[in-house]
Structure 1
Amino acid sequence: MTLARDPGRDIALREARARATNYLATPFWPVRLAEELRELGADWRESAEVCADAAWAARASGRSVLGLLSPDEITAADLDPVIARTYRHLYLCALRYDFRCATLQAFVEQLPPSAASELDCYSRALYAFALLGQSRPEGLALMDEVFAQAGDHPKTCHVLLHGLWLGHDLDHGAEQLLALSARPAFGTAGTDPTVLFRVAGALPRLGRYDEGLAAIDRALDLLPPGDVTVHAVWCANVP
């Protein structure tokens, strides 16, 4: 279920995301973003939406948060909860974008028991991504738990779709990916190029090669002119 949100709050969150992008040239941009989200009292969904985009922009510009925050800083006991969650979202997203599944899994599993027991839904989705991406079957059970809380939250659904796409040896993983790609979180079916690229990776696992090629063609047609980012990620992961 998608909850209606105050348009003024949407504007404030977009501005926080834009300022984070503008500050990427400084080493303090994660701190400034975390402070802004704390002042806004951002919930986990809002934090996920802002942090996923900021972490991607930082990576694309060579300013990844992985070089700015250490695991010890992220798990410091005296951090404000919203700031701690922001740091965690940024850090785990950066690990996801670098396909560092084993490192992401280890980070979550080494959290203090009190922090691990209170992980927000998006952090658990990123943990599920790490397990799914390594074809670990326990990732499927965690995925179901996340869906029970997150519903059709788009950023969460994209994380889980990404994990299913990476997890080539998951039992029925391709079927689950196709089912997930049809969820309302992704809007009108067949119009999101990222989802289509994921679908194109799943169809050949089911012997549906022509449909897979058609999905790639459709995804390429839907990309904005001059957008090379998805091309680069896709080509880097084609055997």
Structure 2
Amino acid sequence: MYWCNNFRFLHRLPDNISDEEGAVIEPLACAVYACKRADIGVGDTVLVCGSGSMGLLCMMAALASGATTVLVTGRSDEKLKIARKAGACKTLNISGKSPKDAAAAIEDVLGGPADATLECTGVPSCISTAIYATTRGGNVTMVGIGDLVQEVPLGAAAMKEVDIRGILRYCHDDFTTAVSLVASGKVNVKPVITHRFPLEKTLEALQTTASGVAVKVMVRCAEN
């Protein structure tokens, strides 16, 4: 009876969305909500910290929201290559850089600080970089989930009047938006899927995910 009374939580996939693309709708809905929380709009310059699946989906959602330039940072050249294939305007490997040095490198690439930052790692050093690399009066939206207690430069955020915002999953209509974005071709989630395994190799799929070499891993229940 509960599910009958809450059928609004079901979303029909159009015929032009494959099962694989459909499996990415849920995280894409999170990215859509993150962009709404970050108030990303036409003409904005956006920094995305993290080149994993969530980072790439946030990049796509930011571009679909009207952002003019989106820079994706990460520590893996291979994942940053995938980010460019997926549509990132610019990418930057910040491996080995301190938060302030990474922020300076980001501003060099963008020609200035970002209007808004989507932090998709949950790592304290990346959160610090996000705060330093965001413009005065901008915002850093926390998409990645890290430790509940962290040491970050809140004083710098206060002095720059940078808002720090959190998100928890998504709202109901974000699923509808995510489905529409994929169905219309405005967002192509296919480049995010980097590895595929048959059902009998699910353990190997999980191990590949844990290794960090993949962006998005799919387990296929049937070959067709």
**TM above 0.5:** no
Bigger RCO (CA 8 Å, 6+ sep): 2
Tell me which protein shows more strand as a share of its residues: 2
